[in-house]
Chains A and B, each alone.
Chain A
Amino acid sequence: MTLLPALLLATALGQTPEGSPGAEPATHETTAQHAEHDAGPAQVLMHHVVDGPVFGFGSKHLVSFVLAALLVLVIVQRAKASYRQGIPSGVGALVESFVVFIRDEIAEKNIGHDGRKFTPLLCSFFFFILVAALFGLVPLPQYAEGEWSFAGVTSTGNLAVTLALACVSFLAQQYAGIARNGWLGHFKHLVPAGMPVFLLPIMIPVEFLGMFTKPFALMVRLFANMLAGHMVITALLMLIPLMSAISVGFGIAIMPVAFGLALFIMLLELLVALIQAYIFTLLTAIFIGMYAHPAH
């Protein structure tokens, strides 16, 4: 009894083109009477992007986060293994081009001559954010609360995950500042040197809070970008059951439109994933550079 509406939701929301014409006419009546989801469109949308249990684990974002991290490790291992006489091939070449880009354009340009030491950290940020975002675009079968569904899970669309990333970034910035300038020097460099004394009561709190608001902005930016993208995809695909609740003909007619729109938004998501990973890494490097080599 719960399988048929689940199938309808799965095929409509789960981005699988085959099977939907068969599922829709038979089941659109049962969705209307089906009280289990309390299925308004807002609830279905939130159910999809908000964290929930899956496969017996308490949190699907946690599972996706761990899987994305493992995927990064596997990719990097394969890249390392593909080196023959100092020349990579395949995955290795791709990873190497990214790593060289991060080392030269992001680390060295923004942190200075000792920027290379921060390259592993920046590469970790970049690859993890990119892979987590791409991982969220792939629909995977999930089993939760007694029913199957196909959906993508973007772990960086969870405030806790981006909070963790921002904390690591914050710690890296503080480490860079304190290791280079000492405890006192790091905090003394918060305010620029030639500052008139009457401005100090304003500048000190502002700069001190700035130490915290910068990673906070990183966190919210990444979270909101990933969440918004995923919500838009889900909302566009939800047009299908929405229209088919009015009539089957509408449902079938809206299907290619909805798939086209969702496909376009998913392509945009690819671009956004790359850009957001780049921006997070770049801003972390800039902040590390600001604290490690204060330019006064």
Chain B
Amino acid sequence: MPTDPKALAYFAAGIGAGLAIMGGGAGIGRLAAAAMDGISRQPAAAGDIRGAMIVAAGLIEGVTFFALVVTILLAIK
């Protein structure tokens, strides 16, 4: 286990990025699955569902990017 703070920061940044994308990917994957279900049940509502899906994906990605900003701060220390 390295004790140099810079090395630990890089290490933490790598793990943090992986965890952040795990959460974001899982969330957006669930969102896409629900959207697919909705569109297949009612093709007429496809436009509305698509719009809502894109907005929700943008918001979830925004949260993921919060975590990404923290990892970037660690990585450029």
A→B interface (CB under 8 Å): 42, 46, 217, 220-221, 223-225, 227-228, 275-276, 278-279, 282
What's the Cα separation between A275 and B61 when bound, in Å?
A: 11
Q: List 30 A-B contacts (CB under 8 A).
A: A42-B75, A42-B76, A46-B76, A217-B62, A217-B66, A220-B62, A220-B65, A220-B66, A221-B58, A221-B59, A221-B61, A221-B62, A221-B65, A223-B69, A224-B62, A224-B66, A224-B69, A225-B61, A225-B62, A225-B65, A227-B72, A228-B65, A228-B68, A275-B57, A275-B58, A278-B54, A279-B55, A279-B58, A279-B59, A282-B55
Range of interface residues on B (Cβ < 8 Å): 10 to 19
B77 to chain A minimum Cβ distance, whole angstroms, is: 11
| Contact of B55 with A224 in the complex, beta carbons under 8 Å | no
Chain A, Cβ-Cβ closest to B56: A279
**SS class of chain A's interface: helix, strand, loop or mixed?**
helix
What's the Cα separation between A77 and B52 when bound, in Å?
A: 32
What's the Cα separation between A227 and B58 when bound, in Å?
A: 15
User: Across the interface, which residues of B come within 8 angstroms of A224, CB to CB?
Assistant: 62, 65-66, 68-69
Q: Mark B24-63, 1 if CB is under 8 A from A, else 0.
A: 0000000000000000000000000000001101110110
User: Across the interface, which residues of B come within 8 angstroms of A278, CB to CB?
Assistant: 54-55, 58
User: Across the interface, which residues of A come within 8 angstroms of B75, CB to CB?
Assistant: 42
A129 to chain B minimum Cβ distance, whole angstroms, is: 12
What's the Cα separation between A224 and B66 when bound, in Å?
A: 7
